[in-house]
């Protein structure tokens, strides 16, 4: 049964459908692995065995009757602790939300449950989801799969590590500035950033509502496609006969390739060679509007985040990790007109960006220009924390600012991801491209 812990969610689903895997035994296998794991409490904020076993029992009955609800019916997933689940603490990684227990599931969890996914529980994150590093001294800091002294990436740190350490078949996180793609990349997983507005966020604790998205972290592109369908209550993308023949990819040369460190640089170079060998055309593209958009980040992200949570934060600021508190408070430095003007400018830059990218199937760059930083140093060196956090988020934020969908794939170099950025609401095309790229990179 231990082999189940390293299988893709899709493969587990096929095993259930073929009668080779019983959802009850599968869920017990994951629950046992969670309880026995030395990092259990650094990854899971709350395990829900009663819910998981009840859902697994129902999935087992459906499988026996040939009435499975979806390809993932009976497969156990974890959920980021900002996605509401009825009767279970959802505290968003902060003491400010201590004791917060919602009375109903978020819409995405409700959709997934309706299609048979088994909820194992909730996993840790960066405090209030406002960091790309995953360091959270106020709750817990999950370790990176490749370096247990390093952070796992954020803010969906527990989502990534629950899958990477074999404590969930897949996980659902959120991405406002890179929070799915960074931890996925640093833990050698697939991560899908969905287009803003595509996947419902009702019942998801907001950070920046205009930029918040929900998406999966998993072991394969097929898993990502099936997970997206479950979150939406829809039909998964058709990945059959996916190919790189005739695909045009543009390397984002503006900002995204600056100061890329050795590991991510090597992983990216090797990935480009692999993609070209399978028929893709890869060429550089200058998109100067990217630099202009990134310069708007302090206004766009912090004003909305602070405006949303100012009263709660300022009532008890001492409860917060100082680095996160300071990041929220940056929103005080800008006015309402600054924020409106920034969005007006960003909308213009988005139009220019997609016009420039129109000839490409996707744009690519390293998911993160850095490898996972040391947790202890981040905790004790404020300048290092700020520098590494901004670098970690830099490339992924391009997709958020441009309203894109995005996909990160492991390159074969530890903790170095390859990121595809594609036009809004083209997830199905992006997933087909990702499926072909996954084969090339393997």
Residues with a known catalytic role: 80, 155, 179
174-193 in b/e burial notation, b at 16+ Cβ within 10 A?
bbbbbbbbbbbbbbbbbbbb
96 vs 324: CA distance, rounded Å:
13
Q: What secondary structure letter does DSSP report for 235?
A: P
52 vs 40: CA distance, rounded Å:
17
171 vs 329: CA distance, rounded Å:
30
222 vs 230: CA distance, rounded Å:
12
346 vs 328: CA distance, rounded Å:
21
174 vs 386: CA distance, rounded Å:
21
306 vs 75: CA distance, rounded Å:
37
184 vs 192: CA distance, rounded Å:
9
Q: Which residues contact 398 (CB under 8 A, 6 or more apart)?
A: 252, 255, 256, 290, 293, 294, 365, 404, 421
């Amino acid at each position: 049964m231990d082999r189940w812990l390293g299988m893709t969610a899709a493969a587990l689903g096929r095993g259930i459908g073929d009668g080779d895997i019983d959802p009850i035994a599968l869920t017990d296998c994951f629950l046992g692995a969670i309880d026995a794991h030395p990092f259990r409490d650094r990854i899971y904020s709350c395990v829900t065995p009663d819910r998981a076993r009840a859902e697994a029992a129902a999935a087992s009955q459906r499988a026996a009757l040939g009435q499975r609800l979806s390809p993932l019916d009976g497969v156990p997933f974890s959920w980021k602790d900002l996605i509401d689940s009825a009767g279970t603490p959802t505290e968003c990684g902060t003491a400010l939300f201590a004791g917060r227990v919602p009375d109903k599931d978020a819409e995405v969890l409700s959709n997934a449950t309706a299609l048979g996914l088994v909820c194992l529980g909730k996993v840790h994150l960066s405090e209030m989801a406002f960091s790309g590093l995953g360091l959270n001294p106020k709750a817990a800091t999950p370790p990176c799969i490749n370096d247990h002294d390093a952070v796992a990436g954020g803010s969906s740190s527990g989502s990534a590590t629950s899958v990477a350490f074999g404590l969930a078949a897949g996980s659902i996180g959120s991405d406002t500035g890179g929070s799915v793609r960074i931890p996925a990349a640093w833990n050698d997983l697939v991560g899908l950033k969905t287009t803003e507005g595509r996947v419902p966020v009702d019942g998801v604790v907001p950070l920046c509502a205009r930029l918040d998205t929900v998406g999966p972290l998993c072991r394969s592109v097929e898993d990502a496609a099936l997970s997206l369908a479950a979150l939406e209550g829809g039909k998964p993308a058709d990945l059959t006969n996916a190919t790189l023949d005739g695909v045009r990819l543009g390397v984002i040369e503006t900002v995204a390739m600056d100061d890329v460190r050795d590991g991510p640089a090597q992983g990216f170079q090797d990935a480009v060679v692999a993609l070209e060998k399978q028929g893709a055309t890869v060429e550089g593209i200058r998109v100067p509007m990217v630099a202009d958009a990134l310069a708007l980040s302090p206004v766009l992200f912090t004003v909305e985040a602070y405006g949303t949570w100012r009263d709660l934060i300022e009532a008890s600021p001492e409860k917060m990790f100082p680095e996160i508190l300071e990041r929220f408070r940056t929103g005080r430095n800008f006015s309402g007109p600054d924020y409106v003007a920034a969005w007006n400018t960003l909308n213009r830059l988005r139009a220019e960006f997609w016009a420039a990218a129109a000839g490409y199937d996707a744009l690519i760059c390293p998911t993160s220009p850095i490898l996972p930083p040391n947790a202890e140093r981040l905790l004790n060196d404020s300048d290092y924390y700020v520098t590494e956090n901004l670098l970690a988020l830099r490339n992924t934020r391009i997709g958020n600012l441009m309203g894109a969908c995005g996909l990160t794939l492991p390159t074969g170099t530890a903790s170095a991801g390859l990121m595809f950025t594609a036009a809004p609401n083209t997830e199905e095309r992006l997933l087909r491209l990702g499926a072909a790229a996954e084969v090339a990179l393997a």
